[in-house]
Structure formats: structure tokens, C-alpha cells
Amino acid sequence: MPLTFNPPFTLSAVFTGGANAAASLQHPFPDLPPTASFPNFVGNMLPGPPFLGNAFLRSASITDPDFKESTVQHFDLDLQYQHKSYVFSLAYAGAKGTHLALGQDNNQPLLASPSNPVNELTTNSVANAPERVPFVGLSPLIFRLESSGNAIYNSLQATLKKDMSHGLQFLAAYTFSKSIDDAGDSLGAAIGGSFGRPIFGELVYNDQNNVAAQRSVSDFDREHRFVINGTWNVPGPEHATSAAVQKLGNGWSISYIVTLQSGLPFSILDGAAGTLFGPATTYTTADLAVGATLKDARRGGSVSGRVNEFFNTNICSGAVRSRWRHY
């Protein structure tokens, strides 16, 4: 990122949890350096604990120096057969994306223990999360823009086309596909109302040190999709004796389009999870209960009958269900 977005030219801070305990309505913000000192090369640019007053956590905008341009490879094979006015097509289409942009937190707090202390800490708590980070003084949630994302798409596509004859034509297409990636971001849709973030790319969630763990179906994946459209030229009143009837009855046609498709996947988020890893609770998913699988989340019945419980919440851990009951 340009230097204008980083210290000492820009000073940004993230206040959550204990770091924001000293804030009040009368004094909501920390004391900033005077403008006369700009640019501010003070000694506590990366302060140490306690993070109070002017010694607050810094949030930098970082870009991987080895960032690479994203590449997408497309490949397909198409077989067609024609019989009179009918054309049948069977095709395979795929794509592979590499070096996709994503935002990964490189300052996730580490888990401490007596045998493996972190910055002289041997216990883990919400309050000491900023002290268990690899880079003390920086926020535990700093997304670095990098190009380590991957995606793969495979599909089987079948179409049947009928050219206009006897007043009828249509095109029917069916696609069976699967899109998988580790750089998709359903969280962007859930949190910000859009997919991805323009500065950080697609965001990694849960364990920031294990990008491969979020490899799953893409946010836009629709496993089945069937579309049919066509036109039927309505026969006119050929035997009508009235010129007005013939005039009004000829030239009519009926067109139609029908789309049937699978629904979009979604993530079950838990905003109160991952508190031992700092303020990254926005980017965590719910834990499954013992013995539960994602297939158990499905519920039958009408949409109106599932308004209060769109999916089976019993698949999640008891702590998550307890919090949902208070919403």
C-alpha cells in the first residue's frame, strides 16, 4: 500500500474489548500527537502494553512484497450432433484461478502455555490477546493483501436447440457444476453487503494461519441450473371470412423463459467466537455439535414456516445456540 496509508503519515487505531475500556462519552478518542509534530516519528510508534491512553495498537495497511498478478485458465470440450431442426450439444467447461487476491491476518495471537510461553505469557485470555501477537504493538487483526488464493471450476453442460419450424423454436440448457475456492468471501456479503473488500481482497476467516482450511464451495456456486426459453407462433384464423378477424388474429406469438436452479451456499457465523484471538470475532464461523454434520442443517417445509429457524440450529454447539436464543 502507498506510504500515505501507513505510519507516520497516517495513524489508525482499532479499539475493541479491553483496549477500549478507558473510553467515555466525554473523552471517546485517545490523545493524538500535535499537528506540529507531523510526521510523527515518536519512540512509541509500536508501543508495548498496557495499551491505554496514547499507547494504543497500530493498524497498518500491508501488501505482500511478492504479490503476483492473478491468472485464470479456461478449458472446454464441446460435442454437437444435428438432426433436422434439432441440435444437441454436450460440453465440458472448466476454469482454474491462481494467485487470487485475499486478505490474511499475519498478526493472529498465539496460544501460550507454561511449556511454550508467548512474550513471557503462559496463559490465554481475551485481555492479553494483544500481547500474544507476533508483532507486539500492532493490532491482532491486520489484513495483508497477498496473492495466495486458488479456485477451480468444473461443469458438464448439455443443450438442446430447435430451430424455427412449424411455428416453434426453443433452447433448453442444463448445467451440472461445482466451483471451489479458498479465496471466496461470503463474509463480505454477510457483513458489508458485498463480496470481498476492495483493499484487502477476499478475507480469510477462522484460523488466519491456515488458508487451506477454508477451501469450500464458492459463494456463487449453483450445482444445478436448468433454463429453457422458446417461441411459439400462434396459428391465425385461416378460415375466417372477416378481414378484421384475420387482421387481428394473425401475427401473434408466445415467448417464455423458465429458470430452475440450486440455491446459494451460506456460512453460519458466530460473532462471539474466537475471542482468545483478539477482535477477529467478525470473521469466525460457528462450531458443529458433536456428531453433527452440515447435512443435518437442512429443514423441510415452506419458507414461511422456517422464518424463525431457517436451518436446524441444533447442529451447532450449545454455546452458540444459547446466544441465538437471546437474538
The backbone torsions φ and ψ at residue 83, rounded to the nearest 5 degrees and listed phi first, read: -135, 110
Does 176 share its domain with 257?
A: yes
Does 321 share its domain with 248?
A: no
SS (H, E, C) the chain: CCHHHCCCCCCCECCCHHHHCCCCCCCCCCCCCCHHHCCCCCCCCCCCCCCCCCCCCECCCEECCCCCCCEEEEEEEEEEEEECCEEEEEEEEEEEEEEEEEEEECCCCCCCECCECECCECCCCCCCHHHCCCCCCECCCCEEEEEEEEEEEEEEEEEEEEEEECCEEEEEEEEEEEEEECCCCHHHHHHHCCCCECCCEEECCCCCCCHHHHCEECCCCCCEEEEEEEEEECCCCCCCCCHHHHHHHCCCEEEEEEEEECCCCCCCECCCCCHHHCCHHHHCECCECCCCCHHHHCCCCCCHHHCCCCCCHHHECHHHHHHHCCC
Does any domain span residue 97? yes
Q: Give the domain range for residue 322.
A: 286-327
Does 197 share its domain with 257?
A: yes
Does 258 share its domain with 318?
A: no
Instruction: Say what the pLDDT of residue 301 is.
Output: 84
Residue pointed to by grid coordinates 478518542? 29
Does any domain span residue 133? no
Does 156 share its domain with 204?
A: yes
Tell me: the pLDDT tens digits for 74-127? 999 999 999 999 999 999 999 999 998 888 888 899 999 999 999 999 999 988
Does any domain span residue 6? no
Does any domain span residue 27? no
Does any domain span residue 19? no
Does 314 share its domain with 198?
A: no
pTM over 0.85: no
Q: Are 296 and 266 in contact (CB under 8 A)?
A: no
Does 78 share its domain with 221?
A: yes
Does 259 share its domain with 314?
A: no
Does 211 share its domain with 79?
A: yes
- Domains in the chain, number: 2
Does 149 share its domain with 181?
A: yes
How far is 53 from 46, CA to CA, in rounded Å? 14
Does 198 share its domain with 319?
A: no
Instruction: Say what the pLDDT of residue 228 is.
Output: 98
Handedness of CA 322, 323, 326, 327 (dihedral sign): negative
Does 228 share its domain with 294?
A: no
Does any domain span residue 63? no
Distance of CA 233 to the CA centre of its chain: 45
Instruction: Say what the pLDDT of residue 12 is.
Output: 63
Does any domain span residue 193? yes
| CA-only gyration radius of the chain, Å | 29
Instruction: Say what the pLDDT of residue 30 is.
Output: 67
Does any domain span residue 21? no
Instruction: Say what the pLDDT of residue 303 is.
Output: 81
How far is 152 from 125, CA to CA, in rounded Å? 39
Please report, in tens digits, the pLDDT of each residue of the chain (327 residues total). Answer: 456 566 656 666 666 666 667 778 888 876 666 656 555 544 445 666 766 655 667 777 788 889 899 999 999 999 999 999 999 999 999 999 999 888 888 889 999 999 999 999 999 998 888 889 998 888 887 888 888 889 999 999 999 999 999 889 999 999 999 999 987 654 444 444 444 444 455 778 788 888 888 888 888 899 999 999 999 999 888 777 788 878 888 889 999 999 999 988 877 777 777 778 875 556 677 888 888 888 888 888 888 888 888 888 888 875 555 444 434
Exposed e or buried b per residue across 310-327, where buried means at least 16 C-beta atoms within 10 angstroms of its C-beta: eeebebbeeebeeeeeee
Which residues does 25 contact at the CB level (< 8 Å), separation at least 6? none
Instruction: Say what the pLDDT of residue 199 is.
Output: 47
